Chain A
Amino acid sequence: MNQIRIYVPKDSAARSVGADDVAQAIERESVQRGLSITIIRNGSRGALWLEPLVEVETETGRMAYGPVRVEEVASLFDSGFQLGREHPLSLGLTEDISWLARQDRFTFERVGLIDPLSISDYQNSGGLVGLRRALEMETDAIVAEVTDSGLRGRGGAGFPAGIKWRTVLATPGEQKFICCNADEGDSGTFADRMLMEGDPFTLLEGMTIAGVAVGATEGVIYIRSEYPDAISTMREAVEIAREFGWLGKSVLGSAHSFDIRVRTGGGSYVCGEETAMLESIEGKRGVVRSKPPLPAIQGLFGKPTVINNVLTLATVPSILAKGAASYSGRGVGRSLGTQVFQLAGNIAQGGIVETAFGVTLDTLVNDFGGGTLSKRPVRAVQIGGPLGAYLPVSAFNVSMDYESLIAAGGMLGHGGVVVFDESVDMAVQAKFAMEFCAIESCGKCTPCRLGSTRGAETLEKIMQGENVEGNKRLLLDLCEVMTDGSLCAMGGLTPLPVKSAMLHFEEDFAVRREVKQ
Chain B
Amino acid sequence: MSFTPWSKESASAVLDTTRLEPGPVLISLQALQEEFGYVHAEAVALVAEACNVSRADVHGVLTYYHDLRRTPPPENIVSICGAEACQSVGARELIAGAKKSLPREVEIKEVFCFGNCALGPAASVNGRLIGRARVADLFAHLKGSGKE
Contact = CB atoms under 8 A, between A and B. Distances in A.
Interface of A: 12-13, 15-17, 48-49, 51, 184-190, 192-194, 225-228, 263-269, 280-286, 301, 342-347, 350-351, 373-374, 382, 386, 416, 418-421, 424, 429, 432, 436, 440
Contact of B111 (A192, A267, A374, A416): A267
Contacts of B116: 12-13, 16, 190
A281 B118 CA distance: 30
A286 B120 contact: no
Given A13-B131, A344-B120, A267 B25 contact: no
Contacts of B20: none
Contact of A284 (B26, B66, B81, B119): B26
A228 B79 CA distance: 14
B46 to A, nearest CB: 15
Interface of B: 22-28, 30, 51, 57, 60-61, 64-68, 81, 83-89, 111-120, 122, 127, 129-132
The 7 closest A-B pairs by CB, nearest first: A350-B118, A266-B65, A187-B83, A16-B131, A344-B117, A283-B23, A267-B66
Given A189-B117, A194-B115, A345-B117, 15 more contacts: A12-B114, A15-B129, A16-B129, A16-B131, A193-B115, A227-B114, A265-B67, A282-B22, A284-B26, A284-B57, A285-B60, A285-B64, A345-B84, A345-B88, A418-B88
Contacts of A350: 117-119
A282 B23 contact: yes
Given A16-B122, A16-B129, A281 B23 contact: yes
Contacts of B114: 12, 226-227
Name which of B67, B119, B131 has the most chain A CB atoms within 10 A of its CB. B119
Given A185-B112, A186-B113, A263-B27, A283 B61 contact: yes
Contacts of A188: 83-85, 117
Contacts of A284: 23, 25-26, 57, 60-61
A190 B117 contact: yes
A429 B84 contact: yes
Contacts of A13: 115-116, 118-119, 131
A418 B117 contact: yes
B85 A345 contact: yes
Contact of A344 (B26, B57, B61, B118): B118
A193 B117 CA distance: 11
16 contacts: A13-B118, A16-B122, A184-B115, A185-B112, A187-B112, A188-B83, A189-B115, A226-B111, A228-B127, A264-B30, A266-B66, A268-B65, A283-B51, A342-B118, A345-B88, A432-B84
Contacts of B57: 284
Nearest to A301: B22
A281 B22 CA distance: 9
Given A286-B65, A386-B83, A418-B85, A190 B26 contact: no
Contacts of A17: 119, 131-132
Contacts of A194: 115
Q: Is the interface of A mostly helix, strand, loop or mixed?
A: mixed
B62 to A, nearest CB: 10
Name which of B84, B116, B129 has the most chain A CB atoms within 10 A of its CB. B84
Given A187-B86, A386-B84, A285 B67 contact: no
Contacts of B25: 283-284
A313 B71 CA distance: 39
A347 B120 CA distance: 10
Contact of B64 (A266, A282, A342): A266
Contacts of A193: 115
Contacts of A281: 23
Contact of B84 (A187, A226, A282): A187
Contacts of A424: 88
Given A346-B89, A382-B84, A266 B26 contact: yes
A345 B91 CA distance: 10
Nearest to A48: B118
A192 B117 CA distance: 13
B129 to A, nearest CB: 4
A12 B129 contact: yes
Nearest to B53: A283
A192 B127 CA distance: 20
Nearest to B122: A16
A47 to B, nearest CB: 9
Contacts of B24: 283
